[in-house]
Amino acid sequence: MALLVQKYGGTSVGSIERIEAVAEKVIRYKEQGNDLVVVVSAMSGETNRLTDLAKQIDPTVRGRELDVLLTTGEQVTIALLTMALHKRGYDAKSYTGGQVKILTDNAHNKARIVSIDAANLAQDLKQGQIIVVAGFQGVDEHGNITTLGRGGSDTTGVALAAALKADECQIFTDVDGVYTTDPRVVAEARRLEKITFEEMLEMASLGSKVLQIRAVEFAGKYEVPLRVLSSFEEGEGTLITSDSSEDDSVEQAVISGIAFNRDEAQLTINGVADTPGVAHQILGPISDANIEVDMILQNVGADGTTDFTFTVHRNDYDTALNILNKVAQDLKARVASGNNRIVKLSIVGVGMRSHAGIASKMFEILANEGINILMISTSEIKISVVVEEKYLELGVRALHDGFDLAEYETE
Ligand code: ASP
Ligand code: MG
């Protein structure tokens, strides 16, 4: 018998029929002898609908009252799901975040969980109840309702699993797992059976938006085994854990996946003085404008000057370029320029730590396709390159092929 925390996203509870289907699914797990805590999102589109209503009153609305409004979405689904369980003859009880006592800080609209009082839930579980908890919400120490940021129900699920020391946190969603890359780009992309938290974080932050990043961080920190699986199809999904399956007798793939990010833009300033403080003079005004910088590259100086290139989110491109033009004047640099038709391709895998030559293999694969690399950056478990946008599909496919990601496993 296991204690499972299951989270069902908005699509999974998007209609009465689907809520009834979730009830059936939950009951199947219950009948297998598991204890269950079920976290639900608002019905799909509901959080957006509520946000739009608020914006009709005040387009810039933020803060406490927005949280009071948005949390109603999840309150609807916990009640409906619990009713559906009752109808089927099962003991079940719904809880809002405040009723559990999911205590958060008071940062409205993006609060962080501080603690969870799991005593009531543990008591209910002992009595055989199925517990249904509203995702995405909590209360601060004064009882003000807070929310955890968009997609926050994942974090509720993981945090409850950590607090209750659950055996697994299962995230049911509209995809059946984490893939080696986006199947819309590479049809042969394969579902991973297992991936580590570190790899998942790299994949997620690079644009594979299956889970809220904060939820993955939380799960990694508290070592909550996390499984992503489909609400609509049977299957094992993908298990995200801390062990990199050293226990498995099968040979481990060096690369777990290919991630990519289309939202990139590159900026360059040429001919700045190669003296202390210049990097700060360039990037200071960028960060003052609240623009996040991703990759940074400075050339080896020549003739006392150097070139400096960095990337930002594409939405920030125009603002960043304006700032850089001013900086260029101030620093008497030769020229500032940019390119917002670039993308980032990355290979991710913990196996890289123990294998040499991965980078050169990556560059060879891209070279064979005639793809020019504009920038390179590496971390312990990731190598990223910036290339022109038109090479995105070709590059991802070539890398997926070159690293044998489609064929590796037989399931
Ligand atoms: N309903 C919230 C949202 O749409 C929270 C969630 O679904 O995780 O962002
Ligand atoms: Mg959602």
Whether the CB-CB separation of 223 and 320 falls below 8 Å is answered with no
Q: Is 269 left (phi over 0), alpha (psi -120 to 50) or beta?
A: beta
Mutating to test ligand 1, I would choose from 47, 70, 210, 211 the residue with most ligand atoms within 8 A of its C-beta, which is: 47
- The pTM is what? 0.84
pLDDT digit string, tens, across residues 197-251: 999 988 876 655 678 888 899 999 999 999 999 988 889 999 999 865 555 545 5
Tell me, what's the pLDDT at 210?
Answer: 76
Mean pLDDT of the region 167-176: 92
What separation in Å is there between the alpha carbon of 80 and the centre of ligand 2? 17
- Compute the distance between CA of residue 225 and CA of residue 241 in angstroms, rounded to an integer: 5
Report pLDDT for 104: 97
Dist. CA 346 → ligand 1 center (Å): 28
* Residue 249 confidence (pLDDT): 43
Nearest in space to 263 (alpha carbons), one of 321, 306, 316: 316
The pLDDT value given to residue 411: 46
Mean pLDDT of the chain: 92
Please compute the mean of the pLDDT values over residues 100-127 and round it to a whole number. 95
To 10 degrees, what angle do helices 392-402 and 358-368 make? Answer: 130
Confidence of residue 304 (pLDDT cuts 50, 70, 90): confident
Residues with CB under 6 A from ligand 1: 9-10, 41-42, 47, 73, 135-136, 150-153
241 forms beta bridges with: 196
- pLDDT by residue (tens digit) across 365-402? 999 999 999 999 998 999 999 999 999 999 999 999 99
Handedness of CA 162, 163, 165, 166 (dihedral sign): negative
CATH for the 258-402 domain, from 3.30.2130.10, 3.20.20.10, 3.30.470.30, 3.60.130.10 = 3.30.2130.10
Q: How far is the CA of 142 from the centre of ligand 1 (A)?
A: 24
Angstrom CA distances, 177 to 190, 199, 256, 406, stand at 9, 14, 13, 15
Average of per-residue pLDDT across 8-36: 97
Q: Which stretch of DSSP H or E encloses residue 101?
A: none
Domain with CATH 3.30.2130.10 in the chain: 258-402
| CA of 150, nearest ligand number | 1
Per-residue pLDDT, 60: 93
Instruction: Give the ligand whose atoms come closest to the C-alpha of residue 174.
Output: 2
**For 316-349, how does the pLDDT look when each residue is reduced to its tens digit (9 = 90+)?**
999 999 999 999 998 888 888 999 999 999 999 9
In the chain, CATH 3.40.1160.10 sits at 3-174
Q: Which residues pair with 270 in a beta bridge?
A: 335
Taking alpha carbons only, the member of 289, 277, 294 closest to residue 330 is: 277
For the structural domain made of 3-174, what CATH number should be given? 3.40.1160.10
Over residues 32-88, the pLDDT tens digits come to 999 999 999 999 999 999 999 999 999 999 999 999 999 999 999 999 999 999 999
Nearest alpha-carbon partner for 47 in 24, 72, 30: 72
pLDDT the model gives residue 97? 97
Our mutation pick for probing the ligand 1 site, out of 7, 52, 150, counting the most ligand atoms within 8 A of Cβ, is 150
Which pLDDT value is given to residue 164?
Answer: 95
Cα(368) to ligand 1 centroid in Å equals 43
Angstrom distance (rounded) from CA 339 to CA 292: 17
